[in-house]
Amino acid sequence: MAKCEFCEKAPSFGNNVSHSNRKTSKMWKPNIRKVKAVVNGTHTTVYVCSRCLRSGKVERIV
């Protein structure tokens, strides 16, 4: 569910590397918000990352 509907940003995976060079798995999640917005002329609820909200890709309903 952690996926932006506009830019398709999704979780990314990698490793935490400690000072002793041990590796454990880590996941970075995008900052997803549930927002009421205008999409194709209709009012719908969409899941959008905060960067798309700030850049103006999404027209919010106020």
Task: Quick: pLDDT tens for 6-50.
Answer: 999 999 999 999 999 999 999 999 999 999 999 999 999 999 999
Q: Is residue 1 part of a domain?
A: no
Q: Is residue 35 part of a domain?
A: yes
Q: Is residue 44 part of a domain?
A: yes
pLDDT at 50: 95
The Cα 45–Cα 25 span in angstroms is 33
Q: How confident is the model at residue 62 (pLDDT cuts 50, 70, 90)?
A: confident
Task: Output the domain CATH number for residue 34.
Answer: 2.30.170
Neighbours of 11 (CB within 10 A): 11
Q: Cα–chain-centroid distance for residue 10?
A: 6
Q: How confident is the model at residue 51 (pLDDT cuts 50, 70, 90)?
A: very high
Q: Is residue 19 part of a domain?
A: yes
1 has a pLDDT exceeding 90: no
